Amino acid sequence: MIYTVTTEFVTFDKKGNSKNYPVGTKVNSKVYNILGAARQAKCKLSSTRIDYTLSEALAIGDLYLQNDNLQWVVDTYTKLYPTQPHSVDSIHAMVRQFMALDSEHPYDTQWVAKTVTIKAAQHLAPERFFASNEEAREYKLQLQAEDILKDLIG
């Protein structure tokens, strides 16, 4: 886990050397765990990852099938589910995972879809979505090879 310093503090090693931790400094768990309670209180957990449930992934996937415009899906999802726990960036990433599996966006494979996204995609439209990240990348390579052959042949 990563913690963020909220109140500046200084630590000292066994040799007496000081290390300053200004506000905003990121501290990993190893460092955080060796800090005393008073210094730990000056840090907060930076992010708590909240995994998507299958029902959340299905809702996003359903919106994506209605309109595969990234911003539309994000905006609509946040309007329909105003109390959902995910950040806009997280929802954006989830939509990009659907795009990475989408046979109608074969060149958009840079995102790696998580298991829950793959399950949702296969449940919603198995004829449209690839069943794995590898299958999507293989299809992209096949299309690229076909494009190269077309260019060579003329």
pLDDT tens track for 105-116: 887 777 889 999
pLDDT tens-digit readout, 17-34: 999 999 888 888 899 999
Beta-sheet pairing, 43-45 with 26-28: unpaired
What is the model's pTM? 0.65
Task: Read off the amino acid at residue 110.
Answer: Q
Ordered by start, the domain boundaries in the chain are 2-45, 54-150
Tell me the backbone φ, ψ of residue 135, rounded to 5 degrees. Answer: -60, -40
